[in-house]
Amino acid sequence: MDGIRLLLCTDMDRTVIPNGEQPEQTSARERFTRFCAQPEVKLVYVTGRHLHLVQDAIAEYGLPEPDYAITDVGTKIYQVIEGEWFELSGWEAEIDPDWRGKSRQQIEDLIGPMDGLRLQEASKQNRHKLSYYLPVESDYQKVMSRIADCLQQQGVAASLIWSVDETTQTGLLDVLPRNATKLHAIEFLQQQLGYRRDEVVFAGDSGNDLPVLTSPVQSVLVANATDEVKDAARQIASENGYESALFMAENTRIDGDGNYSAGVLQGVWHYVPAFETLFEKRGMTHE
Ligand SMILES: [Mg+2]
């Protein structure tokens, strides 16, 4: 068991927070919390939420406090030390050049009004995150390509991230600096902390997790994800040649053992079986 360690990066909503339609296995979060408390494990939340909503979710759902948090869809990274949250300024410096010195307001002005596009609340915007609502039934790909064209003409390097909040059936479109994605933020943290690729596992459930799920980062798609996301993840991972870095958690029993945080642990056991052995040894079986 010597020397094993894990940088466990996980999305929050509908990945470790059981706020989807599907059932959560009994005491799944309790086991997940005990797992994350092990000295070999560093926990990183990777989420679209902003700081206060991350803290609210931790309190409301009794989730473990993380060591780091990548928030606002990858535009901010915090380190958490004894309950205090510190923003990593190195990350802002890393993503700042992509927008060519333009402010969020200037990016918004460049995009201008478009059919169906509606700005999200001020609390969901930040210096490097411009977020819109867009009806789920709209032709979001067309809107995204129009935005991409318009920003490209101005030399702005942006990532456009589309996702759907399933509980409210709301389409969300984020315009971010190109490198300010969940994937780049995870890779940045991995390098800063000196973890090898095989010591990192990511878990997610939805559209804005796809860039990580289909990358070389060892990833877990929880079983409660929709069939659309499962199909897209399989297809893109295979196109990218990273099928072996995508694990689909499954409900192998009737109690949702592949859903939410139980699915995350299923994925960890898949990539690093030594962890399962370790926890059995410590009297913390996953049953
Ligand atoms: Mg999610």
The secondary structure element, H or E, covering residue 193 is: helix 182-193
pLDDT of residue 181: 86
Please report the pLDDT score of residue 1 as a whole number.
Answer: 47
**What is the rounded CA–CA span in Å between residue 18 and residue 36?**
17
Domains and CATH numbers, the chain: 6-92+180-281 (3.40.50.1000), 98-177 (3.90.1070.10)
**pLDDT for residue 2:** 59
C-alpha 175/C-alpha 3 separation (Å) is 40
User: In angstroms, what is the span from residue 134 Cα to ligand 1's centroid?
Assistant: 18
Tens of pLDDT, residues 29-58: 999 999 999 999 999 999 989 999 999 999
Average pLDDT, the chain: 94
Q: In angstroms, what is the span from residue 208 Cα to ligand 1's centroid? A: 8
* Structure confidence at residue 281 as a pLDDT band (50, 70, 90): confident
Q: Using CA atoms, how far apart are residues 268 and 197, in angstroms rounded to an integer?
A: 14
How far is Cα 238 from Cα 205, in angstroms, rounded to an integer? 18
Alpha carbon of 156 to ligand 1 centroid (Å): 28
- Which tokens sit at 152? 């490209």
As a whole number of angstroms, the distance between CA 14 and CA 70 comes to 16
* Ligand 1 centre distance from Cα of residue 100 (Å): 30
CA dihedral 255, 259, 265, 269 (to 10 degrees): 80
What separation in Å is there between the alpha carbon of 51 and the centre of ligand 1? Answer: 16
Rounded to the nearest angstrom, the distance between the alpha carbon of 203 and the centre of ligand 1 is 9
* Residues paired with residue 132 on neighbouring β-strands, in sequence order: 119, 173
* pLDDT tens by residue, 55-84: 999 999 999 999 999 999 889 999 999 999
Q: What local confidence, expressed as pLDDT, does residue 283 receive?
A: 72
CA-wise closest residue to 202 among 270, 115, 129, 101: 270
DSSP 3-state of 74: helix
pTM reported for the whole predicted model: 0.88
Q: Which two tokens stand for residue 162?
A: 């589309």
